[in-house]
Amino acid sequence: MISQGAHGETPSAGGVSWTIPGRWQVGAERPMRVATYNVPAPGGEGTGAECAVFHFGEGQGGDVASNIDRWVGQFENPSEPVQSTMESNGLKITTVATTGTFLAPAGPMMQSQGKLENYSLLGAIVEAPGGSVFFKLTGPAEAVRNASGEFDAVLRSLK
């Protein structure tokens, strides 16, 4: 079962579920995504962040290192990526963070939609029973920094 958590449902994919932070809003359905969450900007002013969740099935979606390299590669002049691992309720999670000029990839060929300066990424790859689940929070650096505690709470809520 895959659910983004609309209308009181618990969001889930790959055999795991998570809790959505109270101020995050379920976004419109998008191709290839399990869920999209819109994260308001600090103080509600300016551009907020977006958390995209992906799951491609067991054995699909590539390995951890390849995904982290691809995510960091979506930035021009990225800061040195900070990578770590953690465990939540028995699930291994690899995280990465970077900041730079985001090339805003979209579309079937993931072509750049323009350069967005001073953007950040918080990413997490969850080794779930039904295949990896990918969480990718991107947005203006301040909005991502403001949402980092909530992102961590999502990861700690995984079960």
More confident site: 113 or 45: 45
pLDDT at position 109: 45
Residue 7 has pLDDT above 60, yes or no: no
Write the DSSP assignment of 81-119 as a string of letters: PEEEEEEETTEEEEEEEEEEEE--EETTTTEE---EEEE
pLDDT, tens digit, for every residue of 124-157? 999 999 999 999 999 999 999 999 999 999 999 9
Of 35-39, 86-90, 102-106, 128-132, least confident by mean pLDDT is 102-106
In order of start, what are the domains of the chain with their CATH numbers?
6-157 (3.40.1000.10)
pTM of the model: 0.90
CA–CA distances in Å: residue 45 to residues 3, 49, 142: 29, 12, 11
